[in-house]
Structure 1
Amino acid sequence: MLNQPILPEADMAYTVLSDLKRVTREYATAATESVCPEIRQMFTQLLNTTLTMQGELYMAMQSANMYNASSPVIKPEVDKQLKQYQQIQQQTNQFVQQTQAANANMAQASASGNAMPAYQ
């Protein structure tokens, strides 16, 4: 009786998989909210490493019949969602570029003394 594990192997693996999923969300949030580029890069690297570990554990669990994958998704629906996300990404990139250009123009105007006077 002393040699028996407390939890079955599948339960332990599922617990680790759940923790990896949680940590992934936390690293993604930390990377998103980081102001310092070096810290953002560190969290991004940790996120990628954790995603790799999560994927490897999932594949090992699936091959050992410890994890049932969700039902398959219809490819046209995935393609539709992907196209929508790509459009959103393109719009976001355009917005960021416009904002950066506007900020650069304001900084240039301020530096050249053409800034609008502040109202008091």
Structure 2
Amino acid sequence: MFNKPALTDEDLASTILSDLKRVTREYATAATESVCPEIRQMFTQLLDSTLKMQGELYTVMQQNNMYNASSPALKQELDKQLKQYQQSQQQTNQFVQQAKASQGQIPPAAMGNNSVPAYQ
């Protein structure tokens, strides 16, 4: 018959890493779209454990020269992106609070300060 070449450890690890990355996206989407709190919690726990596995596999691959990380990002660029995300989060929080207030779910006086903490 015909002999197929076996996958190398690097190819196998890369395939598993790609699958873990895909699964994390799917779990994140499922958790985000879940209406039931128990189902949301289950997907969040699955996401956390999958992220842990992905991180462990990445570390092993990097230690064995199976994965080349991208070049480091400039701190200035990261700070700029973080500021944009914080502004977007603040705008989203304000929108949600205003929508709740207009629906009578919370009194406007209880809205308070909608500032978003800076993450370091």
TM over 0.5: yes
Matches within 5 A, 1:1-120: 6-104=6-104
Instruction: Report the Cα distance in structure 1 between the residues aligned to 2:9 and 2:26, rounded to whole angstroms.
Output: 26
Number of aligned positions between the proteins: 102
Could you tell me which runs of 5 or more consecutive residues in structure 2 were left unpaired when the two chains were aligned: 106-120
Amino acid at match of 1:59: T
Which structure: larger Rg?
1
Amino acid at match of 2:74: I
2:27 alignment partner, SS class: helix
Q: TM-score, normalised by structure 1?
A: 0.79
1:104 alignment partner, SS class: coil
Q: Map Cα deviations across residues 12-58 of structure 1 (whole Å, 9 max, x no partner).
A: 10011000000001001111111111111111111111111111110
1:35 alignment partner, SS class: coil
**How far is the alpha carbon of 1:94 from its aligned partner?**
1.4
**How far is the alpha carbon of 1:64 from its aligned partner?**
0.5
Structure (1/2) with the larger helix percentage: 1
2:110 match:
none
Instruction: Report the Cα distance in structure 2 between the residues aligned to 1:50 and 1:103, rounded to whole angstroms.
Output: 38
**How far is the alpha carbon of 1:104 from its aligned partner?**
2.4
Q: TM-score, normalised by structure 2?
A: 0.79
Instruction: Report the Cα distance in structure 1 between the residues aligned to 2:102 and 2:39, rounded to whole angstroms.
Output: 27
Could you tell me which runs of 5 or more consecutive residues in structure 1 were left unpaired when the two chains were aligned: 106-120
Instruction: Report the Cα distance in structure 2 between the residues aligned to 1:93 and 1:104, rounded to whole angstroms.
Output: 17
Q: Map Cα deviations across residues 41-88 of structure 1 (whole Å, 9 max, x no partner).
A: 111111111111111110110011000001111110011001110111
